[in-house]
Structure 1
Amino acid sequence: MTLLGPAEVRELATRLGVRPTKTLGQNFVHDANTVRRIVRAADPAPTDVVVEVGPGLGSLTLALLPEVERVHAVEIDPALAAALPATVAKHDPEHADRLHVINRDAMKVQPEDFGESPTALVANLPYNVAVPVVLHLLATLPGLRHGLVMVQKEVADRLTAGPGSKVYGVPSVKLAWYAEARQAGRVPPGVFWPVPNVDSGLVAFTRREPPAEVDRDQVFAVVDAAFAQRRKILRGALAGWAGGPDEAERLLRAAGVDPGARGESLSVEQFAAIAAAGGGSVPGGRAGRARGRG
């Protein structure tokens, strides 16, 4: 098995007529040491069935295939998706049968696209869709137990931030609903083609049970409302969700949360407690009517 270097990446892109586009967030890794580092940090088991989103020209795919049972490569670009099997067959014929290419938008994949249940996510994610892709896959693929993704460093900071951090927000809380996450290193711009103007970061996660037996969509509705106007205290920020500031205050106190606090100070468990206090309420001011007040 041989990995792709800068010359191979450029030659392959030229032959395929591929020009990386900002629209698709394409930045191809051309450094073999970096893809080896990603696989080491992901620490996949030989029995893992891996989802790789945005395999591009195949740099990370080639490093993954010898280490796992199967790689489902989800690629939105038809030209890249069509070329990937041939690239793998040329550089790693021994493990070519472990590759399954899915030419589809990662935000639209469903369990039936994979055949077997994926257990891990390992990917160099396009910067512009990194957060929604991670959340969609965790929501859609319950067998996804762990993973490691490379994202823009700023996004890595947000995904792994804790309550009270300046960058703690909606992505932090929603990922925490599904998984324990941590930063696993920084990646410099020079290992990509084209070279981005920002550093990248590695985010590792391990799935956990949800922090409470509360409807996830209702918890996420509370989170979205709390951060929609970040500087508002919760009594005001959740007024629309709860059906008014007085009802918001009542629910917050029932959940054991200070109505004068801000969303950035709350853990995912506290957001779940607020949703639970709402009794399965829905956004749009219908919380009280759901409990027979209107």
Structure 2
Amino acid sequence: MTAQNPQPQTESAEGHPGLLGAADIRRIAAEAGVTPTKKFGQNFVIDPGTVRRIARTADIDADSTVLEVGPGLGSLTLAILETGASLTAVEIDPPLAERLPNTIADRMPEASDRFRVINRDALKLTPQDVPELAQAEAFTLVANLPYNVATPIIITLLERFPNLTGFVVMVQKEVADRLTEKPGSKIYGTPSVKLQWFGTAEKAGTIGRHVFWPAPNVDSALVKFTRTHTDRTEEDVRDRERTFALVDAAFAQRRKTLNAALRKVLPKQAFESAGIDPSRRGETLTIDEFRTLAQAARDLERDPESTEADR
């Protein structure tokens, strides 16, 4: 297909010129010899209305710089480019990364100069890999994330890119619940706490299974995040690493009290210094309370005499 002689829009893409419908997705996959794989957590969106909804929720426009992780066959990619935004896509599957520029050239050629795709694992992505993002004043993550690695990707990108100021991602509904949960819930856990370090997250709607090919066995949901904190110094980074280590330890044994779960990594006096009851469980603490505990432990390390006296 070319811009001069476009193919008729499929029924599912009617009213969404340039975007991909179910028939388009299957055709492109067949031409590229691509079959969705569980290895990469691939479930391709076949509904143009859904991808346009994601782009709209992200509040992006021609002034926006966007990162997409896992663009697949290009459904969401085209919806992002339709807003006028500049887009860098990171795709782990080589055949998909190779095919994607052709899809953009066919369906939305005027956007080709605002688009770049690299074949990389998002968990290994560094600012050196994407200088156009690293040098931007700010950028937004907009993605349909693979279910099996959604949380690690989000936390890793926030850690490595201080100018990642927000995101809208589609993830498994259970993951969305965990990312946005508050203290005291049974599903409040490590992802809930760690994301609080960087900012605030909220659910922005649910997505049914029928918009995917192949259809997953679970429903999906949108999560919208706004960054409110950036680690600007090496001490900030060490502070985060100490805090996250406590979070990991507390939730590794979430049914135990803090006193029992953190016994090997935290001096007992730290609870008193932080003003936190050691009989509480990790699932009741906010990120600020975990941070206060970590800071108390750091201060005790700097004053070994007080720690020794406590023993």
Which of 31, 37, 55 does residue 53 from structure 2 map onto? 37
- Contact persistence 2:60–2:85 (CA under 8 A): no
Q: Deviations over 1:133-154 (max 9, x none)?
A: 0001111111010110000000
1:213-228 equivalences under 5 Å are: 215-228=239-252
Q: Distance in 2 between matches of 1:210 and 1:252?
A: 26
Deviation at 1:290, TM superposition (A): 7.9
- Contact persistence 2:143–2:169 (CA under 8 A): yes
Q: Distance in 1 between matches of 2:120 and 2:215?
A: 26
Deviation at 1:240, TM superposition (A): 1.3
Deviation at 1:288, TM superposition (A): 5.3
TM-score by length of 1: 0.92
- Is the partner of 2:272 in helix, strand or coil? helix
Q: Distance in 1 between matches of 2:116 and 2:96?
A: 13
Q: Distance in 2 between matches of 1:290 and 1:192?
A: 57
Q: Deviations over 1:186-229 (max 9, x none)?
A: 00000000000100010000001269967110000010111110
- Is the partner of 2:36 in helix, strand or coil? coil
Does structure 1 residue 276 correspond to structure 2 residue 295?
yes
**Residue 173 of structure 1: aligned partner:** 193
Q: Distance in 2 between matches of 1:267 and 1:39?
A: 31
- Cα 1:157–1:205 change in 2 (3 A) is same
The one-letter amino acid of 2:221's match is: G
Q: CA RMSD in A?
A: 1.8
**Residue 291 of structure 1: aligned partner:** 304
**Residue 265 of structure 2: aligned partner:** 241
- Is the partner of 1:121 in helix, strand or coil? strand
Q: Deviations over 1:51-97 (max 9, x none)?
A: 10000000000000132431110000000000000000000011111
Q: Distance in 1 between matches of 2:173 and 2:32?
A: 30
Does structure 1 residue 58 correspond to structure 2 residue 106?
no
Deviation at 1:116, TM superposition (A): 2.1
TM-score by length of 2: 0.87
- Is the partner of 1:166 in helix, strand or coil? coil
Q: Give aligned pairs, total.
A: 283
Q: Distance in 2 between matches of 1:131 and 1:68?
A: 28
1:131-142 equivalences under 5 Å are: 131-142=151-162
Unaligned runs of 5+ in 1: 281-286
- Contact persistence 2:62–2:86 (CA under 8 A): no
Q: Distance in 2 between matches of 1:219 and 1:97?
A: 42
Q: Distance in 2 between matches of 1:289 and 1:268?
A: 23
Does structure 1 residue 14 correspond to structure 2 residue 14?
no
- Contact persistence 1:49–1:68 (CA under 8 A): no
The one-letter amino acid of 1:239's match is: R
**Residue 202 of structure 1: aligned partner:** 222
The one-letter amino acid of 1:205's match is: F
- Cα 1:278–1:290 change in 2 (3 A) is same
- Contact persistence 1:50–1:68 (CA under 8 A): no
Which of 177, 189, 192 does residue 157 from structure 1 map onto? 177
